[in-house]
Amino acid sequence: MALFSVTVGSTTYNASTASAVEQDKVLSLLSLTLMQTIFSNKLDEDPVKALVPMFLSLPQHVKQEVTSILCKQVFISGTDSVTVTVRDFENRMIEWNTLLAELTVRNFSDFFTWSKAVREEEHQTRNSQSEAQA
């Protein structure tokens, strides 16, 4: 598990990536929604901004399961005793969902690299087909 820090709003959080088994579970839970988000948005420009609406619209039971995995070891920087939960974000739901998006990007960087390559290949194929028809 890799350690990293992210800043959301005015707070910096320390976190660790989920285990491979947990990452695989999250991908299974989110893959359809992630793929729809990736192929319908300009995810390359700012994946976090593209993922916030995805998290806002997830079914609650899926979001709870994903959150329990991604937030297992997330602490406010400077503290290591209290795990961050949704309860810490009263009246700051966008910040909460932004944190979830940041954690997703950090846990699945290879997924985002792969999806970018797939989209670029698809774009090149469409351009080649258009040029051949012209």
How far apart (Å, rounded) are the C-alpha atoms in residues 108 and 52? Answer: 15
Residue 7 has pLDDT above 90, yes or no: yes
Tens of pLDDT along 40-56?
765 556 788 889 999 99
For residue 8, the surrounding DSSP H or E stretch is strand 3-8
CA 64 to chain centre: 14
Is there a contact between 100 and 70 (Cβ–Cβ < 8 Å)?
yes
Residue 47 has what pLDDT?
84
Total residue count of the chain as it appears in this document: 134
Tens of pLDDT along 70-119?
999 999 998 876 789 999 999 999 999 999 999 999 998 888 778 777 77
Residue 134 has what pLDDT?
67
CA 132 to chain centre: 37
Q: Could you give the 3-state DSSP secondary structure of residue 60? A: helix
Q: Which of 92, 93, 104 is nearest to 43 (CA)?
A: 104
